[in-house]
Amino acid sequence: ETGVTQTPRHLVMGMTNKKSLKCEQHLGHNAMYWYKQSAKKPLELMFVYSLEERVENNSVPSRFSPECPNSSHLFLHLHTLQPEDSALYLCASSQVGGNQPQHFGDGTRLSIL
């Protein structure tokens, strides 16, 4: 599946660093999502953008800040993260309207030192 591309694939950062995760979709979709995947836990939805507007924010700490400049790109800006934020961050996209499957990228493996 190369329709959703995430960079970087791996990221190691200190708790005081600022970094950004990038996601790009080539599927012509108009909704994009950020998920967090931790060991032994179900995927957790973080943010949803539909038609470039944020429509869901699932009680995510403010140290995570999403940005959706257009329907093909999604960013997750990271600042002052905690060790428990270490996880796989997955981006997905889908068509808005009705029931449509979400298609995922391969994620960014984030490690907080």
Partner 1 sequence: GESVGLHLPTLSVQEGDNSIINCAYSNSASDYFIWYKQESGKGPQFIIDIRSNMDKRQGQRVTVLLNKTVKHLSLQIAATQPGDSAVYFCAEKENSGYALNFGKGTSLLVTP
Q: Which residues contact 71 (CB under 8 A, 6 or more apart)?
A: 29, 30, 32, 51, 52
Nearer to partner 1, 57 or 82 (CB): 57
Binding-site ranges for partner 1 (CB under 8 A)? 1, 4, 6, 31, 33, 40-43, 45, 48, 50, 55-56, 58, 90, 92, 98-99, 101-107
What the block records as the tokens of 97 is 């309207």
Phi, psi for 28 (deg, rounded to 5): 75, 20
Q: Which residues fall within 8 angstroms of residue 2, CB to CB, at 6 or more apart? A: 26
Question: CB-wise, 58 or 82, nearer to partner 1?
Answer: 58
> In the bound complex, what is the minimum distance in angstroms from residue 4's beta carbon to partner 1?
7
Closest distance of CB 66 from partner 1, Å: 14
